[in-house]
């Protein structure tokens, strides 16, 4: 077994070179490179975490803007509907006023016409009374030879006509 039979001759060389070469590995690889590799890995993890956080923030921002936009749209829709309602109410009012004016005009015309008709009828009635009184007086003079005063005849006719 060379490990034991060569022990006395080789132990110092083995220990020396092991210390030298492992020492070099420790300082060059262990202290020089491994921490940098870890640093790179950590930097990457941090970058990923930061990017994820940024994406999350952007998503929140987009959500907030969407909400704000929806609220604005709802508000504007409400305003528009209020405007439409106001315009409708105004139009209805104006129409009513005009209708009322036209109605009043028509009523006035009807009333005037009715008044004219009534006056005409009154006039006609008066005419009929006069003619009837003259006719009654005429008839009385021809049938009974009575001379009836015009006033009496008119009164009698009025009496008969109006019951």
Q: Footprint of other proteins on this chain (CB under 8 A)?
A: 1-3, 6-7, 9-19, 21-22, 24-26, 28-31, 33-41, 43-44, 47
Q: How far apart are CA 48 and CA 42, in angstroms?
A: 10
Least CB distance to other proteins at residue 4 (A): 9
Least CB distance to other proteins at residue 27 (A): 8
Using the minimum distance from each CB to other proteins, give the nearer residue, 26 or 69.
26
Least CB distance to other proteins at residue 55 (A): 17
Least CB distance to other proteins at residue 65 (A): 31
Q: How far apart are CA 99 and CA 89, in angstroms?
A: 15
Using the minimum distance from each CB to other proteins, give the nearer residue, 21 or 52.
21
Number of helices (H), then strands (E), in the chain: 4, 0
Using the minimum distance from each CB to other proteins, give the nearer residue, 44 or 59.
44
Q: How far apart are CA 11 and CA 152, in angstroms?
A: 178
Count how many Cα atoms sit within 13 Å of the Cα of residue 35 in the half-sphere of its side chain.
6
- Distance separating the N- and C-terminal Cα atoms of the chain: 168
Using the minimum distance from each CB to other proteins, give the nearer residue, 42 or 107.
42
């Amino acid at each position: 077994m060379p490990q034991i039979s060569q022990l006395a001759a080789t132990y110092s060389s083995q220990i020396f070179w092991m210390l030298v070469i492992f020492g070099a590995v420790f300082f060059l690889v262990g202290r020089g490179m491994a921490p940098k590799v870890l640093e790179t890995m950590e930097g990457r993890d941090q970058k990923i975490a930061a990017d994820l956080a940024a994406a999350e923030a952007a998503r929140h921002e987009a959500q907030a803007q969407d909400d704000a936009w929806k609220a604005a749209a709802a508000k504007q829709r409400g305003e528009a509907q209020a405007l439409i309602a106001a315009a409708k109410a105004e139009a209805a009012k104006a129409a009513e006023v005009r209708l009322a004016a036209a109605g009043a005009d028509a009523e006035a015309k009807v009333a005037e016409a009715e008044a004219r008709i009534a006056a005409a009828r009154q006039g006609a009635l008066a005419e009929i009374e006069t003619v009837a009184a003259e006719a009654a007086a005429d008839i009385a003079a021809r049938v009974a030879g009575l001379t009836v005063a015009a006033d009496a005849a008119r009164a009698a006719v009025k009496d008969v006509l109006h019951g």
